[in-house]
Amino acid sequence: MSPIFQAGGALRVDHPSYVERQADYEALRAARDGEYLHVIAPRQVGKTSLLKRLATRLGEMSWRCAYMDLSTLMDFSKSAWYAELGRVLAHSLTPGRPPALANQIDLRNYLLNHALPWPGGQPRIALFLDEVEGAGKARDTDGALFSDTFFSMFRALYNERDKLDSTLVVALAGTVDPSALVTDPAISPFNVGREIGLDDFTLTQMRELTGHLADLGLPVDETIHQAIYEWTNGHPYLTQRICAELEKSARSGDLTAITPDHVGHIVEQVILSPANPLQRDKNLRHVAKMLGGLSAPATEAWSRFHAGESVSLAETGEDLYLELYLTGAVKAQADLLVIRNRIYERSLIRQRLDYDVALSFAGEDRATVRQVYEALTAAGIKTFYDEDEDVKAELWGKNLYDYLLDLYRKRAKYCIIFVSRDYARKVWPNHERQAAQARALLENREYILPLRLDDTEIPGLLPTIAYLDLRYETVAAVVECVRRKLDAV
């Protein structure tokens, strides 16, 4: 049986989980009006799926449509780039008669003199150019960019459309502002066409998607729709990802009913904190990478989210807003910029850490650990220790497995592991260690501070990692080293 949900990649035109949005209707209207259109939005919100569905609908109206992903041509020289573009276009527009294209002039002549008047074909053509930013990265053999003339040719055709006895529509999709497609200031910018906004699903639209969970033979009530929406705020990919994970669990027999707790578990343990950090969600990795490449003004604006400050649209301006928006992390809400959804907020915004250090140890070593805890506390270092009165109150009634996983991965600046024979053989200390090691791998820094009580080897703690040894160091010396670590953070 084919999967109901698909997390990543364009959906088939007839895929049951495709949800139509206002953008679908606006794009169809623009095309039928003979307008160019551009769908400029972050990645994985449905741009390609929209283009392909639009191509199908126009095809049903006797339009001839051709689709090209321009990112696939980035490593081509100019002549090879146009030759491959011509081959792909000919497959849909002039079957069996591929043109010999070498530049934008050849492309223009092909469209006007061969494709549009093709015998037996309707004089209505729609070109769907996806990943348009890929064109701006292609270079000729001499290293020169050639995308300016490519887009300028289409701009000229748009301006001449009233002279044609046929209709040519160009639909662009990507994560770049159309005005940036032409970079040469001596050439008119690409400022034609109708912008199609691709918003996240409303709750009503999202129910069309999450409603397919019932196809698994499990009851799905309103609390499930609400739980998913509270995490994703209608983000298409993230909604599909949660539903796909629920489907996987249901088909494997691990799930006989869906509850809001199941939704929360998938978000927390599969999407936000996978057991293997290398399996971190690809969308979250991409958004984080985009944020790492922001300009200085955009980075400063983004830092204000970390500080808990409000960021208004008025103060960012259109260009800065677009740069932040295209990362996928933020959107406009009223007159403010806001984090797009709760999953992004949890993943991308630095959490205020609750503890300076968290202590991980075996119960047999408690007497020694307590001495270190008391000295750390006396030095004003906030420490997680399970017999601290505040910690005991917080732990009361909690699911300790999930709580400790979260604590050792996210809520302390450092983790001190008390290395001993008992630590190596006990279950709970190893659960804490694995959580701490996952954090260390993600951050690629010395998050784990080993403190030896004996010479036992601990899985995952390489012998090359520097440690302190309480057999030779005083507790006061250990506390001083911790203080210096914290001062350097």
Q: Say if residue 116 is in the same domain as residue 247.
A: no
Q: Strand order of the sheet with strand 64-69?
A: 64-69, 124-130, 167-174, 37-40, 194-195
- Asked, for residue 219, whether it belongs to a domain, the answer is yes
Amino acid at 142: D
Residue 350 has what pLDDT? 65
Does residue 104 register a pLDDT over 80? yes
- Kindly state whether residue 58 falls inside one of the protein's structural domains: yes
Is there a single domain that holds both residue 47 and residue 185?
Answer: yes
pLDDT of residue 489: 64
Assigned domain for 332 exists: yes
For the residues of 393-441, what is the DSSP string, one character each?
Answer: HHHTT--HHHHHHHHHHHSEEEEEEEE-HHHHH-HHHHHHHHHHHHHHH
The dihedrals phi and psi of 294, each to the nearest 5 degrees, come to -70, 155
Range scoring the smallest mean pLDDT among 34-38, 251-255, 292-296: 251-255
* CATH number of residue 459's parent domain: 3.40.50.10140
- In tens, the pLDDT along 272-286 reads 988 787 788 999 999
Q: Which of 354, 350, 353, 352 is nearest to 305 (CA)?
A: 350
Q: How large a percentage of the chain has pLDDT more than 90?
A: 72
Q: Which tokens is 397 given?
A: 């009634």
- Residue at 16 is within a domain: no
Q: Is the dihedral of CA 41, 162, 85, 180 positive or negative?
A: negative
* Whether residue 268 has pLDDT greater than 90: no
Q: Confirm whether 123 is domain-assigned.
A: yes
Q: CB-based contacts of 228: which residues, under 8 Å, 6+ apart? A: 206, 210, 239, 242, 243, 263
**C-beta of residue 69 within 8 angstroms of C-beta of residue 130:** yes
The CA distance from 7 to 244, in Å, is 7
Which pair of structure tokens corresponds to residue 398? Answer: 């909690």
Q: How far apart are CA 115 and CA 64, in angstroms?
A: 9
| Boundary residue ending a domain (139, 161, 195) | 195
Amino acid at 222: E
The number of domains in the chain is 4
At 177 the pLDDT is 84
Q: What is the pLDDT of residue 233?
A: 96
**One domain, residues 33 and 167:** yes
Verify that 302 and 384 share a domain, yes or no.
Answer: no
Q: For residues 160-164, give the mean pLDDT.
A: 90
- Shared domain check, 298 and 272: no
What pairing do the DSSP bridges indicate for beta strands 336-339 and 330-333?
A: antiparallel
Beta-ladder partners of 330: 339
Same domain for 270 and 287?
Answer: no
Whether residue 159 sits in one domain with residue 26: yes
Q: Could you tell me if 412 and 483 lie in one domain?
A: yes
Residue type, 112: L
Q: What is the pLDDT of residues 309-363, one digit of tens each?
A: 889 999 888 899 999 999 999 999 988 999 999 999 888 886 667 899 999 999 9
Structural domain containing residue 245 = 203-280
SS (H, E, C) 383-397: EECCCCHHHHHHHCC
User: Are both 218 and 111 inside the same structural domain?
Assistant: no
What pLDDT score does 120 carry? 75
Asked whether residue 308 carries a pLDDT value surpassing 80, the answer given is no
Distance CA 439, CA 121 (A): 60
- Rounded Cα distance, 396 and 424, in Å: 26
Summarize pLDDT for 396-447 with one digit per residue, the tens.
Answer: 988 888 889 889 988 899 999 999 999 999 999 999 999 898 888 766 678 8
Q: Which of 257, 280, 303 is the last residue of a domain?
A: 280
Looking at the structure, tell me whether residues 27 and 162 fall in a common domain. Answer: yes
Cα angle at 26 between 135 and 283, to 5 degrees?
Answer: 50
Q: pLDDT averaged over the chain?
A: 92
User: Are residues 39 and 163 both part of a single domain?
Assistant: yes
Q: Rounded to the nearest 5°, which phi and psi values hold at 192?
A: -115, 160
Reported as a single tens digit per residue, the pLDDT across 82-96 is 999 999 999 999 999
- In a domain, residue 130? The reply is yes
In a domain, 11, yes or no: no
Residues 132 and 34 in one domain: yes
In a domain, 17, yes or no: no
* Inter-helix orientation angle 47-59/22-32, to 10°: 50
The pLDDT assigned to 326 comes to 95
Full strand arrangement of the beta sheet holding 468-469? 383-384, 355-360, 412-419, 448-452, 468-469
Contacts of 61 (CB under 8 A, 6+ apart): 32
Give 233's contacts (C-beta < 8 A, 6+ positions apart).
200, 340, 341, 342
Inter-helix orientation angle 203-210/236-251, to 10°: 30
